[in-house]
Structure 1
Amino acid sequence: MSETRTLVVKIPCWNIAVAGTSLDGAAVSLNNGRVAEATPTATSFGVVPGLNLRKAQSLCPSLSVIENNMIQSAQRFDQIVLALGDITPRIEVLDPGFCSFMTRGPSGYFGGDERLVEKVISILKNAFADLKLSKGLRPHIGVADDLFGASLAAYFTESRLSKIIDVGETLQFVKSLPTSVLFSGVGSFSFDSGLINTFLRLGLHSLGDIGSLQASDVLGRFGISGELIHRFINGLGNFPITTRSVPPGLEKKIEFEPPLERVEDVVRAAKSLGHQLSSDFSREGLTCLQVSIEIETEHGEKSFRYWRHEHQFIAANVGERVRWQLQNWLQSDSTLTGGIILLRIRPEEIVPHTGKQLRFWGGQTDEDFRASQAFEKVQKILGQNEVTLVAEGSGRQLTEFGIRVSFTQEALLSSERSKGFFDGLCTPWPGRLPSPSPAVVFSTPKPLEVFDVGGKPVQVSGRGNMTGQPATLVGMGVKARSIANWAGPWPVEEYWWDLSKHYRQARFQFVLEDGSAHLCVVERSRWWLQATYS
């Protein structure tokens, strides 16, 4: 049996089920305003991961929407992991709803992969019942010769709960799949959508087409990202794992005196250790893919867990995993009798750092990296959601062009993983105001009156027909001013399926006699000043 043969447990719609929503109806969970999971009913309407909320609601007006609660999802999933601990203690958690373990020992003990899968399914069903999760929740289990193949098998279980790829058949299975499967990521693996589109434009329509290329040609043409995909397809895994033991000093631990009682205090300490690990790895030219985290109380109670990240662990990742592990432990075990006195983080799987090719223009610079470190330090003081950045939003309203997100969310949105997940799935917004955007957008629109040359109020019908030519504008705290030039109307109607949100308006751009330019709208026979151009 393969030394790397792996079983993957993937629970679709985990966050929806944890929120207590039925999986029989049309429901989605959101992450940063976009669909992260969709029930089968929602999928039948065309709602798929990556769509923005408005597009999803237009496709399925009866859609139930759940915001992802990562803490709650991680806490509930920890109960699943504890139950699976009866099979093997070495379970790697990649994300809430997704975990894996090597099958070499467990498969031999239970009498083969089929018996092992049956045992896993039985444990999962009992755990679902104990947690009172939706009866429609169905785990997907994949078994293959490596993690990449097992992840793909879990995604292609079809009508069954499991898919077992025979020993030695994983390469054939992987190479038979279309290249498009890489768009939404494969388990914890995620890839640049631009690179995937390049593969398709070059006629590489299956993973086998990519895998058949010479490794040196792939590296020369597509760089490290292309080489990584090529290695996964050919069963070579990530870049060769460092066989030597973890270098002295890379294992980090901190002892607390007096013992810590608050989760946030332990998380701050974990991030500090994470920064030390990142610095040490940079100095050694390494990247960490797996860590073990051990937490101990003053009375000897311990929590130990393996965590995997398919790109690399950074300080924020380490702090997040410690938070999940500690909160899960505190919630599941009410017998803890003391504060935390020890936190130990040990790198378990390290690979050579392949570096990062910087762009000639744009991309992340050293200044960006230093700024991100400063933001993280401020977050430690003020709190996770107190440091925000402006991210590009989606929608037709000016207030939706830019949205405020926490620094960690913005880092996620700008990562290669998010690009690979969302690019190509987001459609344009017909009717959106074209560039250039106004310099000043008023949080509360200002009332106006617009008159034609005869002094009559200008109105716009539901079909976009005007009662007269705009000539004079009254409002903005000044006397009437003449309109030198104007453009419009541009009708906009949204949320026709939701009476509480439905609106219909017509936009105009006015240039006044003093040279100032403004964006105005007429809605329900009333004029409003929305924004001003500089």
Structure 2
Amino acid sequence: MVLWVPDWPVAAAVAEGLVDPQLPVAVHDNRGVVVASAPARAAGVRRGMRRRSAQQLCPELVLVPVDPVRDARAFEPLVQAVETVVAEVEVVRPGMVVFLARGPVRHVGSEDALAELLVGTVATETGAECQVGVGDGLLTAMLAARAGVLVPAEASAAFLAGQDVAALSLAASTRQAAAETAELVDLLRRLGLRTLGAFASLEPGDVAARFGGRGLVAHRLARGLDTLPPTSARPEDDVLAATELDPPAERADVAAFAARTLAEQLSERMLRRGVVCARLQVAARTEDGTELVRTWSIDGAPTAAELTDRVRWQLEGWLSGRSGRPPSAPLTHLELVAQEVSPAGAVQDGLWGRARRGEAQAGRAALRVQGLLGAEGVLVPVLQGGRDPRAAARLVAWGDDAAPLRRTDAPWPGQVPTPWPATVPTEPVPVRLVDAVGEDVRVDARGTASAPPARVLVPPPPPASKRGAVAPTPVDAGEYPLLAWAGPWHGTERWWSDQGRRRAYVQVVPDGAPALLLAVERGRWQVEGVYD
């Protein structure tokens, strides 16, 4: 049985008092709308739509940035309400829980009675509207919850047959699993397998040979089965990592620091044993002996960052103070248990094999440094679309979603010709580009240079400030005559808004220095890149 709250990110924002529930609301990330409320959908707002397009359709639309921590924190009171009816509950993601229905159904009397009891309990204790679905397999129950129906065992195959293959993404609970499932769905559609019934009709052996382990798991879901086949082998022992919190933790940020180290230890122990887990149990003990336990479903091989996210979300839910039943005392003990452990060989490797030991050690070292310096202390580059080398890369915190904000395959009018420079300075270096008589070269609105460039003048770097040394410049100070040059390439961005920019780029080959990419904006030239 699956209990699902529609548009949960919107409901979480409403629960925390960020928006008025009567207004049209859309939760967005940097790529577009993630979830839209019912009033917003009635006005034409759809998932994946750009924010500007959504606001054109619905001028009164309230935009709220996506926040997984907020979603998990606000979901904790709802899970507590479900636990008053059902003993063992697993959180698939904020907004969805799953549990075995046989025991509670026997106690209540019927599936219909249990569904009504759950919906009524959640509405009474939290004010949230939810839907409940029942099915023999995980995907069947998820789709049944979205439709608000109870699917009999003999009707599972017929219920799934007409569903779009995109429904397979509902069962993905990690970033890696979601990315692999999206690639699989795209491939199935290109092969003409657009429904779950068409995919389920294939032979399992053919699916394994063509699509690998991820395809086999998706095939089982499409057939209405669980993700893992039954086995008679002795199950692996649970993997445990625990720590004492001294002094006791009353705030979520204090407990989250210990949780980061603990999740890293758990990931390292699973890596050393060569196993992965399907469930993560987060357990805590308070000063007065109260036990807090919550279980999260995990799909695929979770990374240390993904384990840390779930523990941090859970601690936020317990300690934020917004829950109807916060801990009765500060936390003194924190424990993570990897359950339903299986050999890592059962999980399909990437195309180039498993991550090397050095990569895993580097990741753990980055997490340690991040724990000391903060989330923004360790950054990684992400390539994305753009008109120039600086716009084509952005820095994100280690462990965050490293997804590009702009498509790399989209057309970019006015883009600087390739190949692009291999080195882009952290901060642009100011220079002067002058003609043969020493006058600054200017570029007009049509992209025409006032005179052919003849020399590049690089000023000495400014003295170090009290806050630290100045970053090294890619070119030594001096005056360099030009051996060759190309351009200018003129580009205008966002001409319709106050943030509009007009720039021009020139490639130059100085005598005695590496080739440079120069940019001019508002009459000022600067080094944007250095060619090898």
Per the normalisation by structure 2, the TM-score is: 0.77
1:72-221 correspondence runs (5 A): 72-107=70-105, 112-126=110-124, 129=127, 139=130, 141-155=132-146, 157=147, 162-182=148-168, 185-186=170-171, 188=173, 190=178, 191-221=180-210
Structure 1 position 513, deviation (Å): 5.1
Match of 1:293 in 2: 282
SS at match of 2:224: coil
Unaligned runs of 5+ in 2: 460-476
Structure 1 residues 34, 16: closer, same or farther in 2, change over 3 A?
farther
Range with greater deviation from structure 2 (79-88 or 444-453) = 444-453
Match of 1:511 in 2: 509
Q: Distance in 2 between matches of 1:249 and 1:358?
A: 22
Q: Distance in 2 between matches of 1:472 and 1:223?
A: 59
Structure 1 position 303, deviation (Å): 1.4
Range with greater deviation from structure 2 (73-82 or 57-66) = 57-66
Match of 2:474 in 1: none
Contact 1:199 1:205 in 2 (8 A): yes
2:381 to 390, 401, 406: 390
Unaligned runs of 5+ in 1: 130-136
SS at match of 2:278: strand
1:400-419 correspondence runs (5 A): 400-409=391-400, 412-413=401-402
Contact 2:390 2:424 in 1 (8 A): no
Q: Distance in 1 between matches of 2:103 and 2:7?
A: 23
Range with greater deviation from structure 2 (78-87 or 235-244) = 235-244
Q: Does 1:436 align with 2:420?
A: yes
1:329 to 296, 299, 318: 318
Task: Name the count of aligned residue pairs.
Answer: 499
Match of 1:488 in 2: 487
Q: Distance in 1 between matches of 2:188 and 2:225?
A: 20
* C-alpha RMSD over aligned residues: 4.1
Structure 1 residues 349, 259: closer, same or farther in 2, change over 3 A?
same
Q: Which amino acid aligns with 2:490?
A: P
Q: Map Cα deviations across residues 222-245 of structure 1 (whole Å, 9 max, x no partner).
A: 211111111111122122356788
Q: Which amino acid aligns with 1:98?
A: M
Q: Distance in 2 between matches of 1:436 and 1:198?
A: 32
Match of 1:13 in 2: 9
Q: Distance in 1 between matches of 2:447 and 2:301?
A: 58
Contact 1:507 1:521 in 2 (8 A): yes
Give the number of the structure with larger relative contact order, counting CA–CA contacts within 8 Å between residues 6 or more apart. Answer: 1
Contact 1:285 1:352 in 2 (8 A): yes
Q: Does 1:227 align with 2:216?
A: yes
Structure 1 residues 496, 355: closer, same or farther in 2, change over 3 A?
farther
Q: Which amino acid aligns with 1:96?
A: P
Q: Which amino acid aligns with 1:520?
A: L
Match of 1:133 in 2: none
SS at match of 1:203: coil
Per the normalisation by structure 1, the TM-score is: 0.77
Structure 1 position 212, deviation (Å): 1.1
Q: Does 1:446 align with 2:427?
A: no
Structure 1 residues 280, 375: closer, same or farther in 2, change over 3 A?
closer
Contact 1:459 1:467 in 2 (8 A): yes
Q: Distance in 2 between matches of 1:424 and 1:495?
A: 15
Q: Map Cα deviations across residues 48-106 of structure 1 (whole Å, 9 max, x no partner).
A: 44x8xxx6547757786544333332221111212223321322112222322333344
Contact 2:77 2:325 in 1 (8 A): no
Percent of aligned pairs sharing the same letter? 25
Contact 1:388 1:405 in 2 (8 A): yes
1:64-79 correspondence runs (5 A): 65-79=63-77
Contact 2:165 2:194 in 1 (8 A): yes
SS at match of 2:276: strand
Range with greater deviation from structure 2 (37-46 or 399-408) = 37-46
